[in-house]
Amino acid sequence: MEMKNDTLNESKIKEFLKNNIIVTSFDAIVRWARSNSLWPLSSGLACCAIEMMAAGASRFDLARFGYEVFRPSPRQADIIIVAGTLTWKMAPAMKRLYEQMPEPKWVIAMGGCACTGGPFKDSYSVVPGVDKILPVDVYVPGCPPRPDALIDGLLQLKAKIQNPDIARKKE
């Protein structure tokens, strides 16, 4: 910016700062970092887990987005992908795994069974949707969903993490 032979008056200083300094918040940077390296918990319950594994393998390559580090321990995980049919017998264990994860944490319901109970909705043993016991962030329908669908679900979660306002409930 040409500034020589010119008096530095206040309005010009303001104009100069406006065009050359980016102001951001610490929150935004943290959100950006979090949303680009989500560590999922290896929580396969049924056939959807096979598609989840396929999403992590070379053909679909979840690592492109930074989500490939499937953790065997809930202490190290950021998201829990409920991949498959959740029965009432398994529900307490799943809930405990979720409670053991450190904040912040997110839940993806993968497949028809996890979303609503699927074909087993009226069964005596199946939880009709994991949102009965866990706060679900993203629903990925399908029976089972293809790896593409799971990746899309993770990217939806990424958008949700980066823009928490869009997910906020209306007052």
Partner 1 sequence: MSENLFAKLTEHQLSDLAGLGCQLDGEGACLLTVPAERLLAVMKMLRDDVASSMNYLGDITAVDRGEAGFEIIYQLFSVTRGVKATVKVKVPKDKPEVPSVVSLWPGADWMEREAYDLMGVTFAGHPELKRILLDEDFAGHPLRKDFRMQPRE
Q: Give least dist CB 137 to partner 1, A.
A: 22
Q: Does 12 bind partner 1 (CB under 8 A)?
A: no
Query: What phi-psi label fits residue 118: left (phi over 0), alpha (psi between -120 and 50 degrees) or beta?
Result: left
Helices (H), 36-162: 48-56, 91-100, 111-116, 147-162
Nearest 10 degrees: CA dihedral of 62, 66, 67, 72?
Answer: 120
Q: Does 32 bind partner 1 (CB under 8 A)?
A: no
Q: Give least dist CB 124 to partner 1, A.
A: 4
Burial class of residue 162 in the structure, from the number of CB atoms within 10 Å of its CB (0-12 exposed, 13-18 middle, 19+ buried): middle
Would you say 92 or 164 has its CB closer to partner 1?
92
Q: Give least dist CB 115 to partner 1, A.
A: 18
Task: Extract the tokens encoding 70.
Answer: 């499937």
Site string for partner 1, 111-130 (x = CB under 8 A): -----------x-xx-----
Q: Does 26 bind partner 1 (CB under 8 A)?
A: no
Interface contacts to partner 1, rule CB under 8 A: 87-89, 91-92, 122, 124-125, 132
